[in-house]
């Protein structure tokens, strides 16, 4: 579908501004935790450096532009986010949510650290609700995605990550990210895959963690959402999008709709078709370099997220029922998914 150029450009500016901040703010090290806290505990937000300014979410082209409640946008945001998903089926409600998010981000620029965090978290919830709305336009979803991604860079990637959504861990001698993910991090409530933690902290080699290295570990759940009509797979953290990929799906109802869980995550997988095994790399093997199987319902049997030998099919209804991705994309997603990760497939 056609998308308006102005939104794409404005969204790109927002993301570029935030990445510029992240790359020049010394994200590799965090302030040490107070001595009275364990390594897994979060530093008080008040001791963090001021959060960077977040560019306003681009105003939606052609959409109503109501003014946010300048008296109390926090109350407005809480009322909207607590009213349920059906509220956002109304275009005026979505426009009001975007305007309120802009007002919250404007106020967060001059607010105290604690108030600024609350305002950014509320703005993120509003934009996530707009993005999740099944009747939102492409322009609305593009703008909401750009805003959520910019806020992710500040609230989760940034040095000011609040303890509500991320814990801090300083690496001790002999620790591995895999053992931490299964042990103390999980006990603290973190369920994200170790690969997502590595990506978040720009760690390219898990075997070379430095003693004393500070890691940010998200406490929010990671979810995958596939929208069949849009040929899109989104990765959500705490309900807010952090990445999205174009995919291929099956025609008609071949790709099941529902809520499933990830299982059987395989590198260089063999392919089984009509009871026949086709080894990875053999002629006729078409599922690419990664396989993320789905479970949780009978209709998920044999269905998975995988790569392809025909990347020209991405963006079409060309699969036999699976969710097909470019190999580079599925290899990236593979590292972010753990057994049990929730996968929602929607029409």
Q: Which pLDDT tens digit goes with each residue over 216-274?
A: 999 999 999 999 999 999 999 999 999 999 999 999 999 999 999 999 999 999 999 88
Tell me the pLDDT band of 71, cut-offs 50, 70 and 90. Answer: confident
Q: Positive or negative, the Cα torsion across 344, 191, 123, 15?
A: negative
> What pLDDT score was predicted for residue 317?
96
End-to-end CA, the chain? 16
Nearest to 333 by CA among 236, 255, 252: 236
Map out the domains of the chain as residue ranges: 5-157, 166-218, 222-346
Give me the catalytic one of 133, 169, 265, 306: 306
Q: Let me know: does 103 contact 123? Beta carbons within 8 Å.
A: no
Task: Determine the Cα angle at 257 with ends 256 and 262, to 5°.
Answer: 80
Q: Which of 133, 148, 265, 322 is catalytic?
A: 322
CA distances from 105 to 120, 146, 175, 337 (A): 6, 14, 38, 31
CB under 8 Å to 226, separation ≥6 — which residues?
232, 233, 234, 247, 249, 255, 323, 343, 344, 345, 346
Match 């450096």 to its residue by tokens: 49
Phi, psi of 304 (to 5 degrees): -155, 175
What is 222-346's CATH number? 2.40.440.10
Percent of the chain with pLDDT over 90: 75
DSSP 62: T
User: Does the pLDDT of residue 35 top 50, yes or no?
Assistant: no
Q: Is position 306 annotated as part of the catalytic site? A: yes
- Tell me the C-alpha to C-alpha distance, in Å, between residue 266 and each of 78, 221, 270: 42, 22, 9
- For domain 166-218, the CATH class is alpha beta
What predicted TM-score, i.e. pTM, was given to this entire model?
0.81
Give the span between the Cα atoms of 179 and 85, in whole angstroms.
38
Is the pLDDT at 163 greater than 60? The verdict is: yes
Q: Using 50, 70 and 90 to split pLDDT, how confident is the model at 29? A: very low
């Amino acid at each position: 579908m056609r998308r308006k150029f102005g939104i794409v450009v404005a969204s790109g500016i927002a993301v570029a501004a935030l990445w510029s901040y992240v790359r020049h703010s010394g994200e590799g090290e965090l302030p040490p935790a107070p001595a009275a806290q364990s390594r897994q505990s979060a530093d008080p937000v008040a001791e963090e450096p001021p959060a960077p300014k977040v560019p306003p979410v681009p105003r939606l082209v052609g959409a109503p532009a109501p003014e946010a409640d300048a008296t109390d946008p926090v109350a407005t945001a809480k009322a909207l986010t607590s009213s349920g998903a059906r509220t956002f089926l109304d275009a005026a409600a979505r426009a009001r949510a975007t305007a309120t998010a802009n007002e919250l981000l404007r106020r967060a620029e001059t607010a105290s650290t604690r108030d600024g965090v609350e305002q950014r978290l509320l703005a993120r919830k509003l934009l996530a609700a707009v993005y999740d709305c099944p009747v939102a336009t492409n322009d609305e979803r593009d703008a909401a995605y750009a805003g959520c991604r910019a806020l992710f860079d500040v609230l989760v990637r940034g040095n000011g990550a609040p303890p509500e959504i991320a814990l801090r861990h300083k690496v001790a001698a002999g620790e591995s990210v895999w053992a931490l993910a299964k042990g103390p991090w999980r006990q603290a409530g973190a369920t994200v895959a170790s690969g997502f933690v590595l990506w978040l902290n720009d760690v390219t080699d898990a075997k070379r963690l430095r003693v004393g290295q500070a890691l940010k570990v998200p406490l929010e759940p990671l979810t995958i959402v596939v929208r069949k009509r849009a040929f899109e797979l989104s990765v959500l953290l705490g309900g807010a999008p952090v990445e999205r990929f174009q995919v291929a799906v099956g025609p008609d109802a071949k790709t099941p709709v529902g809520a499933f869980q990830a299982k059987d995550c395989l590198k260089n997988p063999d392919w089984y078709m009509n009871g026949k095994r086709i080894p990875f790399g053999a002629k006729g093997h078409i599922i690419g370099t990664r396989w993320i199987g789905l479970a949780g319902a009978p209709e998920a049997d044999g269905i998975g997220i995988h790569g392809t030998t025909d990347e020209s099919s991405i963006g079409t209804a060309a699969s036999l029922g699976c969710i097909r991705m470019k190999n580079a994309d599925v290899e990236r997603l593979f590292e972010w998914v753990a057994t049990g990760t929730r996968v929602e497939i929607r029409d």
